Amino acid sequence: MGHDKVHFDLDKEHYKFEGSIKTMTIVFMALGLLGAIWAFFDNGGWNHHARFWSNFLLNSYYFNAMALTAVFFIAAHTIGYGGWIASVKRIFESFSSFILIGFICFLIIIAGLWFDWHSLYHHWTHPAPGDTIVGDKIAFLNKGMYTALALLFFAGWILFSQWFRKHSLESDYMVDEISYNQKSKYIAAGYIVFFGVGTSVFSWLALMSLDPHWYSTLFGWYNFASYMCGFLCMTILIILILKAKGQLTYVNDSHMHNIVLFLFGFSVFWTYLWFSQFMLQWYGNIPEDTMWFVKRFEVPMFKAFFWVAFIINFIFPFLFLMKRTAKRNPWIYGIAAVILLFGHYLDFYSMVMFEPNAVPHHHEEAKHDASHASSKTSTLKLYADNHTTDSSHSVIPAVDAAAPVTESSAHANIASSDHKTDAHADGHAVEGHHATLGLIEILMFIGFIGLFLFVILSTLSKNRLVPLKSPFLEESLNYHT
């Protein structure tokens, strides 16, 4: 195919965001808004509207991470001379437009942090008396640091992503596209470094600090694997939407094979990190670390989700996408993309939803409960006594009676997904667990899917779908494996 003919054919590649697809995204967003309102007033605003804020954080984080990863994907292929992506590059670039939406969402979360609208980070915004674990981390876990780092990272992510998008569009009218491509490599290298540091630190702030008594040195990488899988799932779905509308006729089975192959590969990578994190925490048997898993395993719903996420995110793609023919069948990889998109949502659900929904009604009660724990026996010891079946293999070792009582120990016995009360060692009652995966969660998840698709497809409709002057375009158009 000659370059002139390529230009003539591709110049017609303009997508109009209209019709049933646009209506669908609006309906999805309306359902999400309904779910958000329902969540906000659920249980009469229990615990600072915990159900609403937990879902809002979960979806804001998950979908913003997909947008960040799309820019990383472009940067990595720019440095690695990945010419095959040239014909689908504009789709990846359009993801960057959602980063601004993610920024707005986190501005709302930050405002809630300062004005005490939510209990997402109650462990370190209202630390319990004698909680030395949180006290040792207070230089990092405080409102000022959270705000400053979030603003810094979003500023960098937005600037880098907008640069990629702007210069890609300008390259359509450049004469010296080789010079443009060379300059892109330096910017891409800078973004990869910033992305690696920024997303890791931000994952500690946004998610890991929900329970500051626990930490994982693999957490940033573990999140990255889920980012990539979610991003690739959304990419597949958007390409299928555009193809259904008669666009992207030049995107062939080989392009899709590569995208699905990345999805399969990062599913295996996610599993490696999933196992490594769980195995190392279990083998180390450090109370603060193992408690993160023990608390969830004591709630049947969270224990089930732990294994269901493993089955969906590893067993399913391993069996479903391994064959070459599966990577070239739109029905197979389309269904896989939908299932895996939900599977990694479920993984983040387990990270986010437990802590904010497992505390008493108000911060004052949380401090009151912690301060009234028995001076002779901590709840953590009570927990171990009640749940250990073999003293030689105790998951939670007994705690010295004189040890400081931390908020995590004060609430370690909250072990039910139903609305109930449990008792502290001194008999003081605390509120039970309220987290659930119900219609509210599904509606808000669907709402964010609709918002994401609306933003991406609106962005795609504003310009050509193909970078006409890319030096790799013809290679991409004739790409076959």
- Weakest-pLDDT range from 320-324, 425-429, 463-467: 425-429
Residues 250, 252, 256, 261, CA torsion sign: negative
**Burial environment of residue 262 by CB neighbours within 10 A (0 to 12, 13 to 18, 19 or more):** middle
User: Measured between alpha carbons, how far is 9 from 94 in angstroms, rounded to an integer?
Assistant: 22
Predicted local distance difference test score (pLDDT) of residue 281:
82
Over residues 157-194, the pLDDT tens digits come to: 999 998 888 877 877 776 566 677 777 888 899 999 99
Q: What is the mean pLDDT of the chain?
A: 82
Over residues 308-328, the pLDDT tens digits come to: 999 999 999 999 999 999 999
Nearest CA among 227, 140, 165 for reference residue 460: 165
For tokens 């998840």, the residue is 445
User: Measured between alpha carbons, how far is 247 from 240 in angstroms, rounded to an integer?
Assistant: 9
Over residues 189-234, the pLDDT tens digits come to: 999 999 999 999 999 999 999 999 988 889 999 999 999 999 999 9
Predicted local distance difference test score (pLDDT) of residue 76:
94
Residues 149, 155, 158, 159, CA torsion sign: negative
Query: How far does CA 412 lie from the centroid of its chain?
Result: 26
| Sequence-ordered list of residues with C-beta below 8 angstroms from that of 88, at least 6 positions apart, any chain | 235, 239, 248, 251, 255, 259, 476
For tokens 């009469």, the residue is 44
Beta bridge partners of 422: 430
Structure tokens at 237: 């779905």
Give the pLDDT mean for 281-288: 81
Nearest CA among 99, 116, 89 for reference residue 155: 99
Specify the 3-state DSSP secondary structure of 430.
Answer: strand
Predicted local distance difference test score (pLDDT) of residue 164:
83
Torsion of CA 298, 302, 303, 305, to 10 degrees: 180
Q: What is the DSSP letter of 404?
A: P
Q: What's at 445, amino acid-wise?
A: F
User: Measured between alpha carbons, how far is 192 from 79 in angstroms, rounded to an integer?
Assistant: 10
What is the DSSP secondary-structure string of 181-201?
HHHHHHHHHHHHHHHHHHHHH
